[in-house]
Amino acid sequence: MTRNRPRIGLYTLAIIASVISFLPIIWLILTSIKTTAGIYAWPPQYLPAPVTFQNYIDIFTKSPELLLYVLNSLIVGLGTTIVSLSLGGMAGYALSRLGMRRAGVLMVFILAVSMFPPVSLLPSLFQTFLNLGLLNTYTGLIIAHTGLFLPFSVWMLASYFATLPKEIEEAARMDGMGFFRIFWSIVIPLSWPGFVATGLIVFIHSWNEFPLALVLMTQNAMRTAPVGISLYPGEYAFPWETISTATVIAIVPILVITAIFQKQIVGGLTAGTGK
C-alpha cells in the first residue's frame, strides 16, 4: 500500500494544476451561456441559470466581424506555420546534420535572438513595415510572426533530426542522393511527428500572439481574433457576454486541434529522451 502513496500525491498535484489552468476557461464557457443579468448577478452565479445560447446567436448576427477575425487568425497562423516549418526544417537539418562548423554557436545565436521581448521590436518593426507597405497585410504579420517563432522551430526540429539514425542518411548518400533529396524524401517523412508538434505549437502561438498583431494590423478588417476580441469593450460598456462568447469561439479550433494531435505534440516534444 505504501507504494501507492506517491501516486496519490502525484494525482493531487496534477488535479490542482489542471484545475488552476482550466478554471478560467471553464468560467469563460460558463459565462458565455449566462444571460447578461446572470453575469452581473450578486452573489455571483456559479452555474448559469437559465442556460442560454442567445449570446452565440447574437454574436453571429450583431457582430459578424468575429468570423473575419477568426479567418484572419487562421490565415496568419497557417502562413506562419508553413513558413516556420520550411525554413526551420532546412536550417535545423543543416545545423544538426550537415557537419557545419560552429553549428553550436549558430544555434545559440538563433536562441539569443528569440530572447528580445517582442514589444521592444515594435517601434522599428512598425516603421519598417510602414515603409515597405506591409502594414495591414497577411504577408507582413506572417513575416513578423515567423521572426518570433523561427528560433523555436529551428531548435525543436534540429533536436528531432538529431534523434534519427544517421546510418539511414548515410545509406541514402551511398545510394546516390544529394543532401536536398535526402532531406526531402528521407528526413521529412521520418520526422513528421516532429513537424506536427512544432507546427502545432507555432500555430497556437501565432494564433494567440497579441502585441505584433495589434500594432501591425490597424484596420478592423485585418484584425486577428485576440486583438479583435480585446477591442470589444467600449468606452463605457464592458460586454462580458460578447467577449466570453467570442473567446470561446476563438479557442475552439485550437482545442480541437490539440485534442486530435496531443499524442504527436507530446511525442515530438519528448523525442530522443528514450528508446
Partner 1 sequence: MTEVKLERIGKSYGAVEAVQEFDLTIEDGEFLVLLGPSGCGKSTTLRMIAGLESITTGDLTISGTRMNDVDPKDRGVAMVFQNYALYPHKTVFDNMAMALKLQKVPVEEIRDRVGRTAEMLGLTEYLERKPAALSGGQRQRVAIGRAIVRTPKVFLFDEPLSNLDAKLRVKMRMELQELHDSLGVTSIYVTHDQIEAMTLADRIVIMNGGVVAQVGSPREVYDSPADEFVAGFIGSPSMNFIDLRRGAGGGWSSTEGGLRFESLPFSLGDRSEIRLGIRPEHVVITPHAETGANGGSFEAEVRLAELLGADALLNLDIEGCRLTARVGGTGHSRAGDRVQATLPTPLLHAFDIPTGKALPRLVS
In total, the chain counts a number of residues equal to 275
Residue 105, interface with partner 1 (CB under 8 A)? no
Q: What is the dihedral of CA 167, 172, 177, 180, to 10 degrees?
A: -50
Outline where 34-165 has alpha helix (H): 36-40, 54-62, 65-97, 103-113, 118-132, 138-161
Closest among 211, 196, 190, 100 to 147, alpha carbons compared:
211
Residue 176, interface with partner 1 (CB under 8 A)? yes
Q: Give helix 138-161 / helix 103-113 axis angle, nearest 10°.
A: 140
Q: Which of 170, 220, 263, 270 binds partner 1 (CB under 8 A)?
A: 170
Residue 196, interface with partner 1 (CB under 8 A)? no
Grid-cell match 490597424, residue found: 218
Closest among 154, 153, 161 to 189, alpha carbons compared:
161
Residue 168, interface with partner 1 (CB under 8 A)? yes
Q: Which of 43, 50, 165, 234 binds partner 1 (CB under 8 A)?
A: 165
Q: Which of 171, 231, 255, 260 binds partner 1 (CB under 8 A)?
A: 171
Q: Which of 167, 238, 273, 274 binds partner 1 (CB under 8 A)?
A: 167
Give the dihedral sign, CA 111/179/192/138.
Answer: positive
Residue 101, interface with partner 1 (CB under 8 A)? no
In whole angstroms, the minimum distance from the beta carbon of 166 to partner 1 comes to 9
Q: State which residue, 165 or 234, has the beta carbon closest to partner 1.
A: 165
Q: State which residue, 96 or 247, has the beta carbon closest to partner 1.
A: 96
Q: Which of 190, 196, 214, 254 binds partner 1 (CB under 8 A)?
A: 190
- Site residues for partner 1 per CB under 8 A: 165, 167-168, 170-177, 186, 189-190
